[in-house]
Structure 1
């Protein structure tokens, strides 16, 4: 179910980027709802797992070839390749503990807020449909 919801959210995001004027209007007035939908899915996943996942960016250094060098020619001697240290960022996802009771309260509040946003968006959605009929 969560995979379907995530796929649907990704699809809506793509549609919003290249949709009709009506779809773009509706996407504009429902932006907060889509953000909240993603947060609700994340919170539900955290509760199901019993912990949250956090992304951290870590920097690693690698010894890499900076200059490949060149072979000798009739006019110049060979130049050996040169190596140097380069920093590379990588993202690491790690589990972190959460307070499950607080997470349940947060999820309930987000669901209530989602309902109120949906009610508030109905007139704006109707206006988008009236302004940009398909």
Structure 2
């Protein structure tokens, strides 16, 4: 694991609990979002290069036979509840392979790696500043 990847893993942990995290965790999360985004994109591009293709997703509407609840009135006017077969639509997400241009992906990887290196020092200093500004209690 490279130093930048290790730092990305360290910085992504506060993101998982940012909504209910401590002030220190929220500070780190709010101030390292660009670094985490660039790191995620870099990992995606490196995966594309390793596989030789990219993944994309599309949503497909399909229908399936299921049981639907139905309410009707009997001869006396009372509500009767029952179930009957019916067709219902549902949305399914499909992943599919997309060819890549390796030269273009390598340029993208190089640019993202350069941007990640620029942001890594700033992210590390932000983490230190947040830890100093919001020290956590040892319990």
Would you say same fold, with TM above 0.5?
A: yes
Shift of 1:123: 4.2
| Cα separation, 2, equivalents of 1:91 and 1:129 | 41
Pairing 1:86–2:88 present: yes
The structure that is helix-richer by fraction is 1
Shift of 1:79: 7.9
What is residue 131 of structure 1 aligned with on the other side? 133
Shift of 1:61: 1.1
| Cα separation, 2, equivalents of 1:22 and 1:12 | 9
Question: Structure 1: which 5+ runs fail to align?
Answer: none
What is residue 116 of structure 2 aligned with on the other side? 114
TM-score normalised to structure 2 length: 0.73
The structure that is strand-richer by fraction is 2
Pairing 1:97–2:105 present: no
* Match 2:62 to one of 60, 63, 75: 60
Question: Structure 2: which 5+ runs fail to align?
Answer: none
Please report the RMSD computed on the Cα atoms of aligned residues, expressed in angstroms: 3.2
In the alignment of these two chains, the number of paired residues is: 129
What is residue 21 of structure 1 aligned with on the other side? 23
Q: Are the counterparts in 2 of residues 62 and 85 from structure 1 also a CA contact under 8 Å?
A: yes
Question: 1:69 and 1:99, CA in 2 relative to 1: closer, same or farther beyond 3 A?
Answer: same
Shift of 1:122: 4.3
Q: Are the counterparts in 2 of residues 69 and 82 from structure 1 also a CA contact under 8 Å?
A: no
Q: Are the counterparts in 1 of residues 69 and 81 from structure 2 also a CA contact under 8 Å?
A: no
